[in-house]
Amino acid sequence: MPDNQKDTDVRFMKAALRKAREAGRKNEVPIGAVVVKEGAVIASGRNQKEEKRDALLHAEISAIRKACKKLGAWRLEGCTLYVTMEPCPMCAGAIINARISRVVFGCYDPKAGAYGSKIDLHDYTFNHYYEVEGGVMEKECASLLSDFFSGLREEKKKLKNKTDDQ
């Protein structure tokens, strides 16, 4: 990969990380996504499953929906999706159906990742070819998630101790 592509990927992954932090501040699992076309962010999304009580509101789905609306089309050819964690099978299906040209993700998801961790949907032939690049800013993306879950465990522990004291 050319150095300028690496720099571009880091720049847009930082934008996805900002969306992930926003999700974390809303007590959502901190995953963020941005859709980029011709060097500009055209849409962004973050997890909103808890906030909106909607199982489909993953960061990728939100960003894809907004990008389709902005472009007035369901085909997102020529677009790159940057997401802080490896997409799950549902999101990978949306990526395929939206005809996104390239997917760049941060950390791997050993529990539900659809691009190599649990299954690799990129290995299957679909209606178009797209590129997948994983591990971009992997440490930063993974750290954000582990810090979030560590904080949740700590809160749960405090709550249990408080209950036990009463």
User: Which tens digits make up the pLDDT trace of 98-130?
Assistant: 999 999 999 999 999 999 999 999 998 888 889
Report pTM.
0.92
Cβ count within 10 A of residue 135? 15
User: Which tens digits make up the pLDDT trace of 36-80?
Assistant: 999 999 999 999 999 999 999 999 999 999 999 999 999 999 999
Q: Is 60 a catalytic residue?
A: yes
Contact indicator for 92, 60 with CB cutoff of 8 Å: no
Q: Could you give the C-alpha distances from 106 to 84, 159, 164, in angstroms and in order?
A: 4, 32, 40
Contact indicator for 100, 9 with CB cutoff of 8 Å: no
Which of 13-17, 41-45, 149-153 has the weakest average pLDDT? Answer: 149-153
Tokens of 131: 């590129």
Task: For the chain, give the number of residues.
Answer: 166
Contacts of 59 by beta carbon, 8 Å cutoff, 6+ apart: 16, 19, 20, 23, 31, 32, 33, 45, 46, 47, 83, 84
User: Which tens digits make up the pLDDT trace of 78-105?
Assistant: 999 999 999 999 999 999 999 999 999 9
Q: Which member of 60, 77, 133, 154 is catalytic?
A: 60
- pLDDT of 130 reads 94
- pLDDT of 144 reads 96
Q: Give the Cα separation of 78 and 98 in Å (integer).
A: 11
